[in-house]
Amino acid sequence: MPADDGASLTVPPAAPAAGPAAVPTAVSPTTRPTDPLVSALRSHRLLAIVRGDDPGAALDTVLSLFRLGVGAVEVSLTTAGAPGVIARARAELGPGALLGAGTVLTPADAEQAAAAGAAFAVTPGITGALAACHDLGLPVLAGALTPTEVVAALAAGAAAIKLFPASLGGVPYLRALRAPFPDVPFVPVGGVDEAAVRGYLAAGATAVGVGSPLIGGAAAGTGEPGALAARVADYLRAVEGTPLEGAS
């Protein structure tokens, strides 16, 4: 049975402007209402990233990931036939699946993603796609690395921050970033192996994004039978075995 409508993942509307008698107050871009996308990522804690040059294998990989228990999947637009892969997966999975489009760089990419049925968009950095996604009602996991980029991405309407490439600083860098940004949802992406999953989540990451270490050759049609299922099981154990920050 299809889950609830994934279209409910929308960017929260901006607060109404204060009346003329109100005293102006500064609102930090880092203090914003929790987006439904963030809540979903916090629940699933693992975002699988599919990228490959075989559309059929990529589609099979997406469907297998959901069947194996992964609750959030991103299909990179660098995947061969990516819009078709997303559209066919959406038709198979129903409207409630947390299926998004990655490597969204331009307004045209955002429009393609929305038309294919993506429930969210992921960017590698701060691009012109953010404004287009906002207009289309697509929440964005925006790529950023430095504090300046984090602030800029949030000010541009990002629902959460894709810390990329996370491997440059690792878990210590995430901890350092969370000192000035304790309420910002971070999703580290790039070089996230099983050991890093535990470290990032323990350090307060909302979720982790994992591509080739999880997918292997599956989306290119070169994976060994059963290998994807084994890797998914390992990653899910790592995710489920890591207590939420602050949990007793």
Catalytic residue among 92, 111, 149, 162: 162
Which helix (H) or strand (E) segment is 78 a member of? none
- Count CA within 13 A, CB hemisphere, residue 31: 4
Contact 178, 166 (CB under 8 A): no
- At position 233, the amino acid (one-letter code) is A
Contact 236, 214 (CB under 8 A): no
Catalytic residue among 74, 92, 194, 224: 74
Say whether 149 is catalytic: no
- Count CA within 13 A, CB hemisphere, residue 28: 9
Of the candidates 96, 136, 146, 93, the residue with the CA atom closest to the CA atom of residue 113? 136
Which phi and psi angles does 169 have, rounded to 5°?
A: -120, -20
Of the candidates 213, 211, 218, 236, the residue with the CA atom closest to the CA atom of residue 63? 218
Say whether 194 is catalytic: no
Neighbouring CB atoms inside 10 A of 32's CB total 20
Sheet holding 46-50, edge to edge: 186-188, 160-163, 140-144, 121-123, 98-102, 72-76, 46-50, 208-210
Contact 96, 64 (CB under 8 A): no
Catalytic residue positions, numbered: 74, 162
